[in-house]
Amino acid sequence: MRTKIITTLLITATMVLGFGVQGAQARPGRRNHGVCTSAKTGAVHCDAHVIEADGTTTPFVTSGPYGLSPSAMKSAYGWSTSMTAGAGKTIGIVGAYNAPTLASDLAVFSSKFGLPACTVASGCLRRVNQTGGSTLPASNAGWAFETSLDVEWAHAIAPGAHILVVEANGPTLNNLGPAIDYAKTQAQYVSMSWGASEYSGETAFDTHFSGSTANFFAAAGDGGLPAEYPSASPYVTSVGGTTLSGVGTTSLKETAWSNGGGGCSPYEPHFPGQANYPSFGQVKCATRATPDVSADANPNSGAPIYDSTPYQNVSGWFLIGGTSLAAPMIAARAAVAGIATYPRVIYGTSLRFRDITSGNNGAACLIGYDLCSGRGSWLGP
């Protein structure tokens, strides 16, 4: 049955959409859906989105990658193309549940795009449970999809870095807190592609981030305003979403993704670096504002991942987006730079950004800081 579904999707894609050109962008306006179910009270959702096949709610699957390749993505931002970029650094990926085919899926992704192998045997890839042990939690198809996205695109942007995957027992802050605590002792850069609605007690959870030398990055969310947590923590770099077009041409353009997360936190204080930024006052936030920085997240200008753990009964190459794509890319970008990028550093003068001034996510993109894209996208090698 699964083979029949995949074949049907491939035929539909080829005949109706003309898919099959690797490294190209998707047609605009394609339907997509969130991969993880909505969070219950006390739980979080992942921020991955997947393009659907026409006329269905089944993910669009191809026999080869479709979407922006790693080289195309890096060219859009002027990021390093070195195959040793990120060497000597470790990127921590914190998520829920076990991704059983992660290692083999990363091997397929790496081979397809000419990236160096990153294996468990070499020590490049390491997987542990929420306390650092070797007994991994139960599997979950949606979260396995999310973890594949995080790992493959962290490796794509920083192919020389090691990757630590910390798999929590479930998508609750009670489980993810210990996973963060372990990751921050092992990795200099920690990416979290998940979040939940803010709540009055969240500042107590901030202790998992405060006082650490690790750099934390969180997806800002895929529902526009308001802000979500832990992206809203003043100790975490909040990563919003944009839309890329014209990649590889002189017509390159980056605008807001209408679903990119952002907003003023009702509970978290801002920090001096953000509050003192020259254009911060125009957003009229008396508290922590999100996002800080943004990157491509629109599934229609999105990227490929390979996942052989069946998701909705299909597996293979998917076309994905969401701030779940942006967060690990920015974490990996920081690892390549090899610098501390605590949120306050984003508002300094040493980093170069593309100001996103077109579009909105419920808040308009403005010249300077805004709740649409933060400072914009991070450029340069």
pLDDT at 322 over 60: yes
What mean pLDDT is predicted for residues 213-220?
Answer: 97
User: Dihedral sign, CA of 12, 14, 17, 22?
Assistant: positive
Question: What does the pLDDT read at residue 27?
Answer: 53
CATH 3.40.50.200 for the 2-378 domain, yes or no = yes
Q: How far apart are CA 333 and CA 32, in angstroms?
A: 26
Query: What does the domain layout of the chain look like in residue ranges?
Result: 2-378
The answer on pLDDT for 129 being more than 70 is yes
Backbone angles phi, psi at 346, to 5 degrees: -55, -30
Over residues 338-360, the pLDDT tens digits come to 999 889 899 998 899 999 999 99
Distance (Å, whole) CA 323 – CA 133: 29
Q: What residues contact residue 139 under an 8 Å CB cut-off, 6+ apart?
A: 97, 98, 99, 100, 309
Q: How confident is the model at residue 258 (pLDDT cuts 50, 70, 90)?
A: very high
**Number of Cβ atoms within 10 Å of the Cβ of 84:** 13
Q: Tell whether the model's pLDDT for residue 313 goes beyond 60.
A: yes
Task: Tell me how far apart the terminal alpha carbons of the chain are, to the nearest angstrom.
Answer: 46
Q: Where does the pLDDT of residue 300 fall: very low under 50, low under 70, confident under 90, or very high at 90 and above?
A: very high
At 167, the pLDDT band (50, 70, 90 cuts) reads very high
Mean pLDDT over residues 197-226, rounded? 96
pLDDT of residue 24 exceeding 60: no
Its pTM stands at 0.93
Q: What is the DSSP string of 280-295?
A: GGGG--SS-EE-SEEE
- Pick left, alpha or beta for residue 263 (phi over 0 → left; psi -120 to 50 → alpha; otherwise beta): left
Q: Among the listed ranges 23-32, 73-82, 99-108, 296-305, which one has the minimum average pLDDT value? A: 23-32
For residue 131, is pLDDT > 60? yes
Work out the pLDDT band at 18, boundaries 50, 70, 90: very low
3-class state of residue 62 by DSSP: strand
Question: What DSSP assignment string belongs to 236-251?
Answer: EEEEEEEEEESTTSTT
Q: What integer pLDDT is reported at residue 350 of this predicted model?
A: 86
**pLDDT tens, residue by residue, 361-370:** 999 999 999 9
> Which residues are CB-neighbours of 125 under 8 A, at least 6 positions away?
102, 103, 106, 118, 119, 151, 162, 163, 165
User: What DSSP state is assigned to residue 170?
Assistant: S
The pLDDT tens digits for 280-298 are 999 999 999 999 999 999 9
What's the chain's average pLDDT?
A: 92
pLDDT at residue number 41: 62
Edge-to-edge strand ranges of the sheet holding 45-46: 45-46, 194-197, 228-229
